[in-house]
Structure 1
Amino acid sequence: MIDVILKKGKEKAVLQKHPWVFSGAIDKVKGKPANGDVVRLIDTQDRFMAYGFYNDQSRVALRLLEWNEDVQINAEWFRNKVAIAVKSRQELLADGTTNTCRLIFSEADYLPGLIVDKYADYLSLQILTSGIENNKATIINALQELLNPAGIFDKSDASSRGHEGMDASDGGVLAGNHPPEIVEVKENGITYGINIAEGQKSGFYCDQRDNRHIVATHAKGKKLLDCFSYTGGFSLNALKNGAAQVISVDSSALAIETLKKNISLNNLDDLRFTAIQSDVNKQLRRFKEESETFDVIVLDPPKYAPSRSALDRASRAYKDLNRIAMLLLNKGGLLATFSCSGAMDIDTFKQVLAWAALDAGKEVQFIYQFCQPEDHPVRSSFPEGEYLKGLLCRVM
């Protein structure tokens, strides 16, 4: 195994078991490891620190896996990590009301660059690091042995793979059968038809499961606007919980079509629901011009800040989006607003909302703080894994 020497003074994060070592923290590489190889990280005194995946194409040159020198990083190590992750989600799926969740969440489950989502009898994989790519066969075999899925489908994101110098994934079936055009899944007793092959990201945003339920408890008898509705998670929960009216807005024709089908799947196809295919920012301004108001508004936009360098621009976008939403709420109305940008922490998000409230001439109370659910755990040594945050605001 090739040794990689850490620069003097860069030991603290490694000793605290943070899994990332940036290229600038590396002093020397004793040899020429291939990208994705497991290497041995040592300090300048030749003392062992950790094992990790190496990649000289990535800013994160080492993704650390194991801090015990006596543990071998082999096929059995990967099978064990997969098994631990899958077992930790069993209780979530036990009562039968939910059969979709995230089974493996990258660094949080000690498998950096691997995301596995379960959709009923099918699994969706995102392989985003060269180290995981090198061990793909072992991981797929482990998932087959543990879960016996009907099929395993590749949903690796091409742009993320590019950061590791990897070619775009061809997609397609990795094992078993190709999923049907629509796979029906259940979440909190609600049925969703999702397109794994063509849907966004891995096919369905299961990270909002708990938050959809929480927002729905405030929707009974209310008029709710669901922005960036995708295939209708917040909309369906609100309708099921007795919302008086739900308007869903998304720019994707496929998302709106799927949302309408999901309404029918749950026997909620009635006069309380309207779907609008439109750019959300333009539609919000249209509502303002038409003096339309709402009791509850949900804002669940895409990632505005993919990195810290984009944070200022993203903050302005979040502020403008939330400002116009605040102007559309009836007095005392509720705004459920989210950010999935890992670069934006909750304190910054609160500040952005404070600026939005000031510009809108509104007083705002934060009455609940949303987070990601238990199948998206945050590892104590890797706070960067906490990407989803949100606030339920009362707008006065």
Structure 2
Amino acid sequence: MIDVILKKGKEKAAMLRHPWIFSGAIDKIKGNPENGEVVTLRSAAKEFLAYAYYNDQSRVALRLLEWDENTTINKSWYREKLKAAIASRDHVLNENTNTCRLVFSEADFLPGLIVDKYAGFLSLQILSAGMESIKATLIELLRELLNPTGIFDKSDAGARKHENLEATQGLLWGETPPEFIEVKENGILYHINIADGQKSGFYCDQRDNRKILADYTRGKSVLDCFCYSGGFTLNSLKSGAASVTSVDSSALAIETLQHNLELNGFKGSNQHSIQSDVNKQLRIFKDEGKTFDVLVLDPPKYAPSRSALDRAARAYKDLNRLGMLLLKKGGILATFSCSGAVDMETFKQIIAWAALDAGREVQIIRQFCQPEDHPVSLSFPEGEYLKGLLLRIL
């Protein structure tokens, strides 16, 4: 196996089991590894550190896999990692929920691999050259372990560019997914189109948070912003909300929401959908003098990297300021950020600035996070991307 030697003093991250080594930390390479090949990582003193995927096209040149020198990275190794990841989600899946994330990349010691379950179908997303090189093995093992109806490739994320990989999408094995797969989450039905990400609008990372917030919506007027396919809207209606107004700029999202309302028997309920830019619509509501009891702000990723942090902070602040102005005294604001570059303390500071500008006193009554099928490794805090606050606006 080819050895990759680190510069002196650059071994600490690997020894602490952080799964990334950046290209600038490499001193020399003994051999000529192909991108995606498993190599041996060694310190400047030639001590074994880990086995890792290598990619000279990526800023993250090494993605660490295994820290036991006596372990062989082979088909059996991948089988055991997949089995462990799948088994840890067994209790998430039940008669009320048949969709979840089965593999979450570095957190499950499979860097660059994401596997989502949608009823009988699997969605496979590969984001590293190493996982791309063993795609056929992964398909074989997922068939063996899960016996799915079909496996669909959703490796169309922009992150593949960083690994010098082209976007791919299409059927990998089994039956082609129907236009809509019917899934159930918290007892609520959704139709998911995994063959076209634009038609899905469904994010299972908000599963727990949707259920938690629903308890605060009973008998209340709710404004669900960036509603997508209606997760917070549907949970609020199921919980007995007096009214729900759902806003999204995407016509397809509104169309999907209407479909899911009908699917769950909520068509004709006290629900109103608006296709509009959220910031614009919040200003319209303010000018009209409208107020709500509960407001949900679940925007897309404003800060894809740390370089975008300042701009994102301004966007989050203005959005939350507008939201606070629309809430009745004692109202509830559920506000989220899915930007990995924005940590919880930074997010709290942004919300504090928004409250100051809005002239509202605000209490934090709960913190939201991603669910257990999106675990965060203590050695890889970067995996904690979803955070949120449940606020009382005084």
> TM-score, normalised on structure 2?
0.98
- Equivalence for 2:55: 55
Q: Which amino acid is 1:14 matched to?
A: A
- For residues 7-37 of structure 1, give each alpha carbon's deviation from its aligned partner in whole angstroms, at most 9, with x where no partner exists: 1111111111000001111111112111100
Q: Is the 8 A contact 1:117 1:202 kept in 2?
A: no
* Alignment partners' CA distance in 1, 2:157 and 2:231: 26
| SS at 1:163 equivalent | helix
Q: Which amino acid is 1:286 matched to?
A: I
- Equivalence for 1:36: 36
Q: Is the 8 A contact 1:342 1:387 kept in 2?
A: yes
Aligned pairs (5 A) from 1:233-252: 233-252=231-250
- Equivalence for 1:173: 171
1:200 deviation in Å? 4.2
> TM-score, normalised on structure 1?
0.98
Aligned pairs (5 A) from 1:323-362: 323-362=321-360
* Alignment partners' CA distance in 1, 2:120 and 2:201: 14
- Equivalence for 1:122: 121
1:197 deviation in Å? 1.2
Aligned length: 394
Q: Is the 8 A contact 1:79 1:138 kept in 2?
A: no
- For residues 30-74 of structure 1, give each alpha carbon's deviation from its aligned partner in whole angstroms, at most 9, with x where no partner exists: 121111000000111111110000011111000000000010011
* Aligned equivalent of 1:196, options 173, 177, 194: 194
1:204 deviation in Å? 2.3
* Alignment partners' CA distance in 2, 1:156 and 1:324: 36
Q: Is the 8 A contact 1:223 1:245 kept in 2?
A: yes
Q: Is the 8 A contact 2:199 2:253 kept in 1?
A: no
* Alignment partners' CA distance in 1, 2:14 and 2:146: 34
* Alignment partners' CA distance in 2, 1:240 and 1:129: 40
- Equivalence for 1:103: 102
User: Which consecutive residues of structure 1, in runs of 5 or more, have no partner in the other structure?
Assistant: none
- Equivalence for 1:377: 375
Q: Is the 8 A contact 1:155 1:202 kept in 2?
A: no
Q: Aligned Cα RMSD in Å?
A: 1.1
Q: Is the 8 A contact 2:340 2:385 kept in 1?
A: yes
* Alignment partners' CA distance in 1, 2:156 and 2:215: 34
User: Which consecutive residues of structure 2, in runs of 5 or more, have no partner in the other structure?
Assistant: none
- Equivalence for 1:229: 227
- Equivalence for 1:260: 258
Q: Is the 8 A contact 2:11 2:43 kept in 1?
A: yes
- Equivalence for 2:76: 76
* Alignment partners' CA distance in 1, 2:18 and 2:334: 32
Aligned pairs (5 A) from 1:6-25: 6-25=6-25
* Alignment partners' CA distance in 2, 1:317 and 1:282: 13
* Alignment partners' CA distance in 2, 1:202 and 1:13: 37
Q: Which amino acid is 2:88 matched to?
A: S
1:270 deviation in Å? 2.3
Q: Percent identity?
A: 70
1:158 deviation in Å? 3.9
Q: Which amino acid is 1:108 matched to?
A: A
- Equivalence for 1:306: 304
| SS at 1:314 equivalent | helix
Q: Which amino acid is 1:139 matched to?
A: L
Question: Does structure 1 residue 152 correspond to structure 2 residue 151?
Answer: yes
- Equivalence for 1:183: 181
Q: Is the 8 A contact 2:193 2:200 kept in 1?
A: no
| SS at 2:197 equivalent | coil
Q: Relative to structure 1, is the Cα distance of residues 210 and 39 closer, same or farther in structure 2, using a 3 angstrom cutoff?
A: same
